[in-house]
Amino acid sequence: MNTKYWKVDNSVGNLEEYPQVLEASEFLKKNEVVAIPTETVYGLGGNAESDEAVGKIFQAKGRPSDNPLIIHIADKNQLNAFVKSIPDSAAQLMGAFWPGPLTIIFQKKDGTLSEKATAGLETVAVRMPNHPVALAVLKSCQLPIAAPSANTSGKPSPTTGAHVLEDLNGKVAGILDGGATGVGVESTVIDCTEGIPVILRPGGITKEQVEAVIGEVRMDKALTDLASAPKSPGMKYQHYAPNAPLYLVNGSKLFLDSLVAEKKAEGLRVGVLTTEEQVGAYEADVVLACGYRSDLETVASRLYQTLRSFNDAGVDIIFSEMFPNEGVGQAIMNRLEKAAGHRVLVE
Ligand code: AMP
Ligand code: MG
């Protein structure tokens, strides 16, 4: 398949009338799939009402079919078509964080949306992205758009158009390149379908931010207890992994240095994931700074790019520093733990 690559300048007004946006929207109406920039990561969009379009998303990504997709909308009124009811907690969260990186789980109306998009569940995950290009496409096509991250399943999510091209060239109808995404990690997923809302996946909106709006929320047990089954089907899969095995290092810099020295002595090409503060202080073959430890949002924003850069640098093993498990650090650690297949080396 010939993949169209459209560059879009985000800063221009009236994006809805732009030829690239209109063409992408026409593709979506014809049940083709198109990669779209959002404020979190690039999404691979398709008509959520069409089994054909949703099938193409799963196929292009190689995504397991039991992993449901997030439905993207541009207007809260679109919800009524496929959601049974809007609980008070969800209404408050929508008011506070939409458009933005918060995905809310609702009860789904029977017979609406492709069953493939929701993986046969009775619930549906929805968000309104805060990105001018994504919103313009959604408004222009007037469809609910299913959009998982626009990467090959299992690889780090894409935060630039070039990352999407690397993974999906020839497999999708088009890629809208609106520059680098901002937040850099996916949306927070929160289940508002029963009782106290539960965060199923930490992401761009922190637990503290959510609690400031609706009071008590819980974290899904599976996020801390690896033995319990996650309520969010996708959370059980290995994700975000660079090519070389990644190990999280829970200990001092001296400990990390000793691990690097040991593997170098074995003749391996060793990578270290650190931050700008420490980037000059390691003796590994490839030392990459992922933002500033003093500002965790910069770490989130650079995370996937940094994981992909280790692939480009061709290392045999990667050791990563760990980050505080609070605020956006929860999302960073969740992604890093998955990328590492939960391998943690403790001093
Ligand atoms: P991605 O689109 O790749 O960012 O992944 C979407 C995430 O949302 C996955 O972890 C899914 O399992 C989760 N998700 C989507 N729909 C639902 C749902 N109805 N209930 C629980 N989790 C969901
Ligand atoms: Mg994904």
Q: What is the mean pLDDT of each run of 10 residues along the chain (347 residues)?
A: 94 90 98 98 98 98 95 98 97 98 98 96 98 97 98 95 97 97 96 96 96 97 76 72 95 98 98 98 98 98 97 97 96 95 94
* Integer CA distances (angstroms), 159 to 37, 101, 124, 304, in order: 8, 14, 25, 7
Nearest ligand to the C-alpha of residue 121? 1
Task: Determine whether the shortest distance from the Cβ of 189 to ligand 1 is under 6 A.
Answer: yes
pLDDT given at position 79 = 98
The alpha-carbon radius of gyration of the chain (Å, integer) is 20
Global pTM?
A: 0.95
pLDDT given at position 84 = 97
pLDDT given at position 225 = 73
3-state secondary structure the chain: CCCEEEECCCCCCCHHHCHHHHHHHHHHHCCCCEEECCCCCCEEEEECCCHHHHHHHHHHHCCCCCCCCEEECCCHHHHHHCECCCCHHHHHHHHHHCCCCEEEEEEECCCCCCCCCCCCCCEEEEECCCCHHHHHHHHHHCCCEECCECCCCCCCCCCCHHHHHHHHCCCCCEEEECCCCCCCCCCEEEECCCCCCEEEECCCCCHHHHHHHHCCCEECHHHCCCCCCCCCHHHHCCCCCCCCCEEEEECCHHHHHHHHHHHHHCCCCEEEEECCCCHHHCCCCEEEECCECCEHHHHHHHHHHHHHHHHHHCCCEEEECCCCCCCCHHHHHHHHHHHCCCCEEEC
Ligand 1 centroid, distance to 201 Cα (angstroms): 8
Q: Which backbone phi and psi does 193 adopt, to 5 degrees?
A: -85, -20
Which residue's C-alpha comes closest to atom 3 of ligand 1?
A: 148
Lookup result for tokens 């496929």: 82
pLDDT given at position 222 = 87
Ligand 1 centroid, distance to 106 Cα (angstroms): 12
CA of 235, closest atom in ligand 1: 10
Mutation choice for ligand 1 from 105, 205, 232, 335, CB with most ligand atoms inside 8 A: 232
Angle value at C-alpha 290, between 287 and 291, nearest 5 degrees: 135
- Quick: pLDDT tens for 134-181: 999 999 999 999 999 999 998 999 999 999 999 999 999 999 999 999
pLDDT given at position 119 = 96
Q: How far apart are CA 132 and CA 134, in angstroms?
A: 6
pLDDT given at position 252 = 97
| Domains of the chain by start residue, with CATH | 4-223 (3.90.870.10), 246-346 (3.40.50.11030)
Token pair in block for residue 66: 């039991």
- Quick: pLDDT tens for 55-88: 999 999 999 999 999 999 999 999 999 999 999 9
**Are residues 31 and 53 in contact, defined by beta-carbon separation less than 8 angstroms?**
yes
